[in-house]
C-alpha cells in the first residue's frame, strides 16, 4: 500500500501585508497604495486591520493521528480565515499518521509554548491521542488555555485520552469515540451527541463527525453567519447520522481479480479534504490506493495550503492498470488534470475498457465533460459548475453512479462518495460497517 505526505502551511488572509510589521496587540495600521491613473493622478487608498482580528488556532499532531480529523479541521478553519498552526509533538516535524498518511507540521510544539491561541483543537486516532496526552508541553499549553477561559476542543479518542486525563472535563458535558465512552464517563458527564459544546470546550466523536465539529469551531470563533458562509460551498448534508444513499443508473458489478487497485491523481490546487477522504476510507476498506502527482515533482500544494507528497509521479503510475481511477476536485487542480494528456488518455482507456472511473467537485465538469468522458452518462458536480454538464438531469444527487462512472459534488459529499466506491467493490455491508466505525452513520 502506498503512502503520501502532507505538509501543512499556515496562513491568514492578511499575512502578505502584516507578516513583516511588528505590531502590539490591538494595534491598528494603515496601508497606503499609490496608483497612477491614465491622467497620472494619484489616489491614496487606506484600510485598517485590527492585529487581533485574525483568530490563531493550534492543531497538535503525532504519530498515529487520524489524518481526516486533522486535515478537515485545518481546511475548514482556514476557509473561515483562521491562522492555523500545525505543531508536531514528536522530535521531528514529520509525523506518520494513520492509513499511510504522512503530515509535516509547521512547527514543533516547543515553538508554540509562548503563543496565545484562540483555539486549541486535538485530533484523535490511536496511538496519536495517547502521545498527545503524554506530551507535557502540550498539557501545559492546554491547561493554561482552559485556565484563561479560551476555547479548547478534541475529537474521537482525544477527549477521553487527553482532555479527560488532564482533568479538563470535570463538570463538563463531553463526547468521544464510542469505544472510549466508558473511560470518558470517569472524567466528564458523557454525552452521545455527535458534537457536544459546554462553555469553552467542544468535543466530537470521530472521522464521520469531523466536518460538523469543524463548523462548530468556526461558529465559536467567528459566529453563526461565518459558519453558514463556510458551510454552503462544502455541500454538507442535513441528515447527519442517517445511512448514506446514492443514485444508481444502469447498474453493473465492479469486479476485480484480487485487491482493488485504485489510482488517485493529485495536483497543485487539489482539494485536500476530498483527496484525504478518498484515500483514507478506501485504505480502511483494504484497497491498494496509489497517489500520483500530475506535477513535475511529488510535492503539490493543495487548495488550503496543505502540501501533499504523492507516492509516485503520474509517469510512473501510467505503466500500470487500475480497477478505478478517481479524481479529487479543487478548481486549479482540476484545470491541471484536464491539461494532462497522459491522465486524460488513461481515463479514456479506462472508459473504453469498461472499467470504473470517477471524479468529485470541479473535476466532473472541468475534466470529464470536455474530454467526452460523460457522453451518454448521468453525472453530478460542484453546484456552481453543473451548468457545464451536458446532461444535468441527475445533478441534484449527492453521488451518482452510472454504470462504471461515479461522480459527486464537493467536500461535504466526499464521505458518501468514498463509501459508494467501497460499496461497489466490497458490498453494502462492508461499506456500512466502515461508515459506522467512522461514526458517519448511527
User: Catalytic site residues?
Assistant: 156
Q: What is the 3-state composition of the chain as percent helix, strand, coil, each rounded to the nearest 5?
A: 35, 25, 40
Residues 6 or more apart whose CB falls under 8 angstroms from that of 345 comprise none
Cα-Cα-Cα-Cα dihedral of 310, 316, 322, 328, to 10°? 30
Quick one: DSSP state of residue 179? G
Which residues share a beta bridge with 399? 408
Q: Are 300 and 270 in contact (CB under 8 A)?
A: yes
Is residue 312 reached through a cis peptide bond, with omega within 30 degrees of 0 on the bond before it? Answer: no
Grid cell in block for residue 217: 469551531
Q: Which residue pairs, CB below 8 angstroms and at least 24 apart, start in 144-150? A: 145/117, 145/120, 146/200, 146/201, 149/200, 150/116, 150/117, 150/118, 150/119, 150/120, 150/200
Q: 229 — phi, psi (to 5°)?
A: -65, -40
Amino acid at each position: 500500500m502506498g503512502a503520501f505526505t502532507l505538509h501543512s502551511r499556515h496562513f491568514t488572509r492578511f499575512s502578505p501585508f502584516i507578516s513583516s510589521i511588528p505590531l502590539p496587540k490591538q494595534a491598528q495600521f494603515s496601508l497606503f497604495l499609490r496608483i497612477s491613473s491614465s491622467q497620472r493622478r494619484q489616489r491614496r487608498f487606506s484600510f485598517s486591520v485590527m492585529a487581533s482580528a485574525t483568530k490563531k488556532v493550534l492543531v497538535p499532531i503525532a504519530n498515529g493521528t487520524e489524518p481526516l480529523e486533522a486535515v478537515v479541521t485545518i481546511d475548514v478553519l482556514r476557509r473561515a480565515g483562521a491562522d492555523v498552526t500545525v505543531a508536531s509533538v514528536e522530535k521531528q516535524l514529520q509525523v506518520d499518521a494513520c492509513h499511510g498518511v504522512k503530515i509535516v507540521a509547521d512547527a514543533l510544539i516547543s515553538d508554540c509554548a509562548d503563543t496565545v491561541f484562540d483555539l486549541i483543537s486535538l485530533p484523535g486516532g490511536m496511538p496519536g491521542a495517547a502521545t498527545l496526552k503524554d506530551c507535557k508541553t502540550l498539557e501545559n499549553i492546554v491547561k493554561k488555555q482552559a485556565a484563561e477561559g479560551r476555547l479548547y476542543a478534541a475529537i474521537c479518542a482525544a477527549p477521553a485520552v487527553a482532555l479527560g486525563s488532564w482533568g479538563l472535563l470535570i463538570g463538563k458535558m463531553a463526547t468521544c469515540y464510542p469505544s472510549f465512552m466508558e473511560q470518558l464517563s470517569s472524567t466528564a458527564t458523557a454525552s452521545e451527541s455527535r458534537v457536544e459544546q459546554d462553555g469553552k470546550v467542544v468535543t466530537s466523536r470521530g472521522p464521520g463527525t469531523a466536518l460538523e465539529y469543524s463548523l462548530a469551531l468556526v461558529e465559536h470563533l467567528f459566529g453563526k453567519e461565518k459558519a453558514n458562509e463556510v458551510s454552503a460551498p462544502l455541500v454538507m448534508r442535513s441528515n447527519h447520522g442517517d445511512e448514506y444513499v446514492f443514485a444508481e443508473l444502469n447498474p453493473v458489478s465492479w469486479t476485480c481479480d484480487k485487491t482493488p487497485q485504485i489510482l488517485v491523481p493529485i495536483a497543485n490546487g487539489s482539494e485536500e479534504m476530498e483527496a484525504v477522504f478518498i484515500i483514507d476510507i478506501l485504505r480502511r476498506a483494504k484497497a491498494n490506493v496509489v497517489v500520483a502527482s500530475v506535477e513535475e515533482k511529488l510535492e503539490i500544494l493543495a487548495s488550503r495550503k496543505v502540501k501533499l507528497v504523492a507516492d509516485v509521479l503520474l509517469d510512473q503510475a501510467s505503466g500500470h492498470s487500475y480497477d478505478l481511477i478517481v479524481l479529487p476536485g479543487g478548481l486549479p487542480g482540476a484545470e491541471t488534470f484536464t491539461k494532462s494528456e497522459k491522465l486524460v488518455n488513461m481515463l479514456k482507456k479506462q472508459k473504453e475498457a469498461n472499467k470504473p472511473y470517477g471524479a468529485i467537485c470541479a473535476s466532473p465538469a472541468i475534466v470529464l465533460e470536455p474530454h467526452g468522458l460523460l457522453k451518454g452518462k448521468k453525472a453530478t458536480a460542484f453546484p456552481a459548475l453543473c451548468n457545464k454538464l451536458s446532461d444535468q438531469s441527475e445533478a441534484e444527487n449527492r453521488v451518482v453512479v452510472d454504470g462504471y462512472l461515479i461522480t459527486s459534488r464537493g467536500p461535504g459529499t466526499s464521505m458518501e462518495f468514498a463509501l459508494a466506491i467501497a460499496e461497489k467493490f466490497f458490498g453494502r455491508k462492508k461499506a456500512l460497517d466502515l461508515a459506522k466505525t467512522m461514526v458517519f452513520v448511527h
